[in-house]
A = this chain, B = another copy of it.
């Protein structure tokens, strides 16, 4: 909120910490020690705490950034011609990105995390909901699904993908379950 003009080196270090955190969290999720993040950033642990009040706050900063990125993509897809295709594109893209990013898996898996994502990732919720509603109106997606179900299914896809060794096979099954009958291939 208050930005009392950060000093130049402070801005630089803050960026380095964010970059290091994004990388480390993507590989190991919340399990990575904070010291490790500081080491990657070439910075002391104290510096991390100067910029982020806790490890959790840093984690949220990284995750929220990704969620907002997804929200932007979703808003762009809202103008696509085929609502069904747009929706399924979005679904697959989110799963693919998140499966490469342990941090997002952890964030989605934690039911306690629902709270913070409800406020910080509000854009993500709204945009994906719009995409879903549009696809349903076009008859491409079954009607008995809402935004919460959608996010739960994304989490389910991530768990399934992580458990299996092969790549992107199970998403198709779940996607097929989402289609309306006349769209089944």
Interface positions of A (Cβ within 8 A of B): 108-109, 111, 142, 144-145, 148-149, 151-153, 155-166, 169-170, 172-178, 181, 184
Contacts and interface: CB of A to CB of B under 8 A. Distances in A.
A5 to B, nearest CB: 41
B174 A163 contact: no
A73 to B, nearest CB: 21
Of listed A152, A156, A158, residue having the most chain B CB within 10 A = A156
Given A173-B174, A174-B174, A178-B173, A156 B151 contact: no
A111 B162 contact: yes
Contact of A163 (B156, B160, B177, B184): B156
Contacts of A178: 173, 177
B177 A148 contact: no
29 contacts: A109-B159, A111-B163, A142-B173, A145-B173, A148-B166, A149-B164, A149-B169, A149-B170, A151-B163, A152-B161, A152-B163, A152-B164, A153-B170, A153-B173, A155-B159, A155-B160, A155-B162, A156-B157, A156-B158, A156-B159, A156-B161, A156-B174, A159-B159, A159-B160, A173-B177, A173-B178, A176-B176, A176-B177, A181-B184
A68 to B, nearest CB: 20
Contact of A152 (B152, B160, B184): B160
